[in-house]
Amino acid sequence: MSPLVTVILPTFERARYLREAIDSALAQTYGDFVLSVGDNSRDDTTEQVVREYDDPRITYRRHPENLGQQGNWLWLIENATTPYVASLHDDDVWMPDFLERTVPMIDGDPSVSMVFGDYELIDADGRLLVEETEAMTVQSHRDRLPAGTLDLSYPDSLRLVAVWNAPQPAYCAVLRRDAVMATEFPPEIDPVYDIWLSYQIARRRERFAFAPGRITRYRWHPGSSTTTGWSEPEDEIFSRIITENIDAGEVISEIESYWASIRWGRAVRMMASADTRVPSRIEFRGASDRLPPAKRLVSSVAAQSDVAWSAMRRVRMAAHRLTGERR
């Protein structure tokens, strides 16, 4: 019989972490899968790591040219032959029962296009980030979601995706391959394909299921998307969601507020360098209307002038130094 799941592993020059990712896939207690590695690398290091494994379930493809994050991910899914796919980042780790706890939930319900769970955050060296993990779980409402297929109205599905950001198809989900193939990925949203896919599943009124518990580990480090961010494609996605659902009721205001919080976060992170003053002020200006009162005041002041922004940056840097000294 053909396997049910293709584990797709898009990679780009991360041999440091790749073995751990592959090992976590091969250690799954659910064995009905194949592992497909798509390599965007320019050197031979990644291929050397993969060739160390003598396992017939593994296939390897080194692309003649770099397809980019989204292109590599889509190539792997397009070339999968199984009904389900599960995405594993080359710097992340799965718990041994990840597939065992998710695959039966989607295989047993044809209305479900994505099963997702919660995850732990780890640092570059694999240390668990306890406080950050707990905060992410609470923010995403994954501590309150019921187990199993979620019975959601369309506004609730939008809230799940575009306010709570609960589903994470890139690193903690099993997907129905047909649902991905039915989705158009415009170049303007590249490489934020995960939020876009979740939104399109919601928009088509397909269903989500939730597997409770932390079943993968997502690595935070200087090269990860959580720390770098993707401002233009994120803005494109949120703009489209709001425009396409203007009659969806109060959830649109919630989405606008969540988008403003993302822009606030970008603006604050940019204060780490005086060279990013202009884009930081732009982000503050764009966020201010939908922020809570205290943040709105700060955002408005920072957006007003270079002098105000620079003064606030000095205060922020002094506070960081004081916090560091206390530690």
* Each residue's pLDDT tens digit, 66-114: 999 999 999 999 999 999 999 999 999 999 999 999 999 999 999 999 9
Tokens of 43: 């050197």
Q: What is the pLDDT of residues 282-317, one digit of tens each?
A: 999 999 999 999 999 999 999 998 999 999 899 888
Superfamily of domain 5-224: Spore Coat Polysaccharide Biosynthesis Protein SpsA; Chain A (3.90.550.10)
Q: What is the pLDDT of residues 208-253, one digit of tens each?
A: 999 999 999 999 976 555 444 568 999 999 999 999 999 999 999 9
214, 119 Cβ separation under 8 angstroms: yes
Q: What pLDDT sits at residue 322? A: 62
Average pLDDT over residues 6-28: 95
Distance of CA 117 to the CA centre of its chain: 12
Cα(183)–Cα(195) distance, integer angstroms: 12
Statement: residue 327 has pLDDT above 50: no
**Measured at the alpha carbon of residue 244, what is the angle toward residues 241 and 118, in degrees to the nearest 5?**
30
Cα(215)–Cα(4) distance, integer angstroms: 19
Q: What is the pLDDT of residues 180-193, one digit of tens each?
A: 999 999 999 999 99
pTM of the model: 0.92
Domain ranges across the chain: 5-224, 250-326
